[in-house]
Amino acid sequence: MKKLFLFLAIIASTTLFAQSTDDVILVQSLYGKSKGDIIKDYLNLPEPQATAFQAVYDNYEAERKALGQKKMQIINDYAINYDKITDEKADELAKNNLKNNVDFEKLLSKAYGKAKKAVGPINAAKFIQLEQYFQTTIRSAVQDEIPFIGELEKTKK
């Protein structure tokens, strides 16, 4: 029961979180700086590269946030249907989640191409590497709070 409460609380807070402030605040709470500041400090780009990169980054962030919203909708759908999941709903959720993951990877690839033109391959690779680290950390934290299908039923017995 405790895990269910935590799960629902995480879902509710994560949804509000994603809608209002995104995972930027989560990164800030973990690292003491905003995500943008961490990336800016890590890349340490001189002008005019810094300005060119900022345009790429801002575009990337707008698209990433939209994908994050879709991910939160998938998680919410899972939470709402968890105790009555059917084969059809499980299939729908899995397909939506996989598509979201593919879309995110496509976005990273596109951002890399644009960043490479703006700041060169090494700096673009550094950006992608750091972004993947952030996303993996965030995904792991969220996944740790979401029970597997059928997990809560096993703990009731």
Tens of pLDDT, residue by residue over 23-78, are 656 665 666 778 888 999 999 999 999 999 999 999 999 999 999 999 999 999 99
The pLDDT score that the predictor gives to residue 139 is 86
- 31: nearest Cα among 42, 18, 20, 21: 42
Q: Contact 68/18 with Cβ under 8 angstroms? A: yes
The pLDDT score that the predictor gives to residue 122 is 98
Read off the pLDDT of residues 98-151 as tens digits, 9 standing for 90 and up: 999 999 999 999 999 999 999 999 999 999 999 999 999 888 888 888 888 887
Q: Report the sign of the C-alpha dihedral through residues 145, 100, 111, 64, in that order.
A: negative
Q: Contact 100/63 with Cβ under 8 angstroms? A: no
Residue 119 burial (C-beta neighbours within 10 Å; 0-12, 13-18, 19+): buried
pTM over 0.85: no
Residue reference for tokens 């890399």: 112
Residue type present at position 64: R
